[in-house]
């Protein structure tokens, strides 16, 4: 199964989850991970022996340190790159397949957590670039330019102007240092256009804050 050929029928009803704040995995995003905790090494072993699907999910207040409460929506990805280091760590890359709504958590014997995953609200994730032509690239790049100038940073603007909109939005949403609640808002934005609009708002909020004109945080 590849990300481009997946369908709701192909996706497992129960998936392992990796709670990690600020780790965003939108559809077709590429997320490199350095796995070293024994329970997550076990999780990767089991995933590699099966369908290679792992769910990335942020936490929310509640629970305890070992079993924090989980955000209601996560991103499922397929292991598309795997390497083992001499000291026993796994270096993997997850390619985002489809977002999912977390259902009940299983009382599983595994050291990692597993949940029932409902992919049906996000079935459009399985169609690449479905609405990206509707996104406002000019507004996004203008907000990004002001954000980066105020931080003394720069990027390859030609690449940003020519990149497919979904790839541009995903890479910025994943890489920029937004707060976990803001990352969650980006993840839960229904379409690529919605995610681009949310990203533009966040960039404008951050840029305004630099000048002392802070706007209220995104809820």
Residue 215 lies in a domain: no
Predicted confidence (pLDDT) per residue in 171-199, tens digit: 999 999 999 999 999 999 999 999 999 99
Residue 214 banded pLDDT, cuts 50, 70, 90: very low
Q: How many CB atoms lie within 10 A of CB 36?
A: 12
The length of the chain, given as a count of residues: 219
- Residue 47 and residue 116 in one domain: yes
Q: What burial class does residue 17 get, using C-beta atoms within 10 Å of its C-beta: 0-12 exposed, 13-18 middle, 19+ buried?
A: buried
Give rounded-to-5 percent helix, strand, coil for the chain.
40, 25, 35
**What is the token pair recorded at 217?**
């945080």
Domain stop point among 126, 149, 184: 126
| Same domain for 79 and 10 | yes
The answer to whether 94 touches 63, Cβ cutoff 8 Å, is no
- pLDDT tens, 27-80? 999 999 999 999 999 999 999 999 999 999 999 987 787 789 999 999 999 999
pLDDT at 61: 86
CB count in 10 Å sphere of residue 49? 8
What pLDDT was estimated at residue 1? 47
Tell me the percentage of the chain whose pLDDT exceeds 70. Answer: 91
pTM attached to this predicted model: 0.88
Query: Mean pLDDT across the stretch 93-111?
Result: 96
Same domain, 52 and 92: yes
Mean pLDDT (whole number) for 122-143 = 88
Look at residues 69, 104, 126 and tell me which one is the last residue of a structural domain: 126
87 phi and psi angles, rounded to 5 deg: -95, 15
What's the CATH number where 28 sits? 2.30.130.40
Reference 53, options 111, 96, 83, 9; nearest CA is 96
Inside any domain, residue 80? yes
10 SS3 class: coil
Q: Do 35 and 70 lie in a common domain?
A: yes
Same domain, 83 and 23: yes
Tokens representing 51 are 């369908």
Range of the domain at 73: 3-126
pLDDT, averaged across the chain: 90
Alpha helices by DSSP H, 6-136:
38-49
pLDDT at 206: 87
Report yes or no: 39 and 19 within 8 Å, Cβ to Cβ.
Answer: no
DSSP 8-state secondary structure symbol assigned to residue 163: S
Q: Provide the number of structural domains found in the chain.
A: 2
Q: In whole angstroms, give the CA distance from residue 40 to residue 93.
A: 14
Q: 147 and 104, same structural domain?
A: no
Residue 38 lies in a domain: yes
């Amino acid at each position: 199964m590849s990300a481009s050929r997946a369908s709701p029928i192909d996706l497992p009803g129960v998936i392992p989850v990796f709670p990690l704040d600020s780790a965003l995995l939108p559809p077709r995003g590429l997320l490199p991970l350095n796995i070293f905790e024994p329970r997550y090494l076990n999780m990767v072993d089991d995933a590699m022996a099966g369908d290679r699907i792992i769910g990335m999910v942020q936490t929310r207040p509640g629970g305890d340190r070992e079993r924090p409460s989980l955000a209601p929506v996560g991103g499922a990805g397929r292991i598309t790159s795997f390497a083992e280091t001499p000291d026993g760590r796994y270096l993997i890359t997850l390619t985002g397949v489809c977002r999912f709504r977390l259902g009940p958590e299983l009382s599983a014997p595994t050291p990692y957590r597993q949940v029932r995953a409902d992919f049906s609200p996000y079935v459009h994730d399985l169609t690449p670039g479905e609405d990206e032509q509707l996104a406002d690239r000019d507004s996004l790049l203008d907000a990004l330019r002001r954000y980066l100038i105020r931080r003394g940073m720069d990027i390859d603007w030609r690449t940003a102007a020519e990149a497919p909109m979904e790839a541009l939005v995903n890479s910025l949403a994943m890489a920029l240092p937004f707060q976990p609640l803001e990352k969650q808002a980006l993840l839960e934005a229904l379409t690529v256009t919605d995610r681009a609009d949310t990203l533009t708002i966040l960039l404008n909020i951050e840029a305004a804050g630099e000048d002392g004109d802070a706007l209220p945080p995104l809820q």
